[in-house]
Amino acid sequence: MDAALNEIARALVAPGKGILAADESSGTIKKRFDAIGTESTEDRRRAYREMLFTAKGAEECISGVILYDETIRQTASDGRPLVKVLEDAGIMPGIKVDKGTTKLAKSPHELVTDGLDGLRERLVEYRGLGAKFAKWRAVITIGDGIPTQYCLDVNAHALARYAALCQDEGIVPIVEPEVLMDGGHTIERCFDVTRDTLHTVFDELFAQQVELEGMLLKPNMVVPGKANRTASPDEVADATLTCFREVVPAAVPGIVFLSGGQDDVEATANLDAINKRGPHPWEVSFSYGRALQAAALKAWGGSDANADAGRAAFLHRAKMNSLARYGKWSPDAENAA
């Protein structure tokens, strides 16, 4: 076992802490800025992310931040690199290294993730820029006759190649196989697909000699599709834990769930219900994007004059998810805060 990788992985899932996913592509963040009537320029993107990174007290709830290629190269308004802003606050910088999804050859209704070409060289550069961990997302769609085993195999192979390269370069890989919430499938269907996906992923990780102690898993929770949203937090927690105990080895230091289209409070409530059923073989944490940022983005509204309001909204969500890490969140805590 690589002790240094294990130390970073465990620090990222320290008690009460989780990861902020601030790695939206330029296209994705433009859509979010459009929704608040703000032009998506490089300076506005920097100002928004700097606002999040300078929220005092965030380090008590946030262990790391996943950055986008643009962001890891940017400088804050006080002249410090944004990476240094995070490091000075005791928060580890990470980096998204995949290049997005494309249609899977011979299966046009399914997706595969690009980005393995030149990945080792990019990892070396990102390590030099301060990245301690990385993320690669695979996308699995539930539909009529899909996912196919072919799709699961191809995406699992790419995830394992990415993870092995990261560990070779001293970077902790976050392995993200996301079974999408899109559609009207039942929670039982999500359970089956998530189980099959994770089984295939861990087979590939083992085959490619990835050290499980030096990685983190970033999966979806087991939830019904968006068009069939009927599951309570207790139902989500029971299905998720039953699934994950079947297929996720105890050697993995932590599971950092993605929010995957859940709203802010829903993502917190489901994480809380899962942790109320602990202890677990792994730390159970969060790596949320929209579920940590949506309220902050709305409060900021594109204006630097609203930066304090944006920080306050971000801190509120971070604190609520910190409580959920201990299974101590409640609607009363939400309202009191």
Catalytic residue positions? 176, 218
Pairs from 188-192 (Cβ < 8 Å, separation ≥ 24): 188/239, 189/142, 189/225, 190/142, 190/220, 190/222, 190/223, 190/224, 190/225, 190/239, 191/222, 191/239, 191/242, 191/243
Cis peptide before 253 (omega within 30 of 0): no
Neighbours of 163 (CB within 10 A): 27
- Residue 145, classified by CB atoms within 10 Å of its CB into exposed (0-12), middle (13-18) or buried (19+), is exposed
Q: State how far Cα 326 lies from the chain centre.
A: 19
Of 131, 47, 137, the C-alpha closest to 83 is 131
**Structure tokens that stand for 134 in this block:** 């990385």
Phi then psi dihedrals of residue 278, to 5 deg: -75, 180
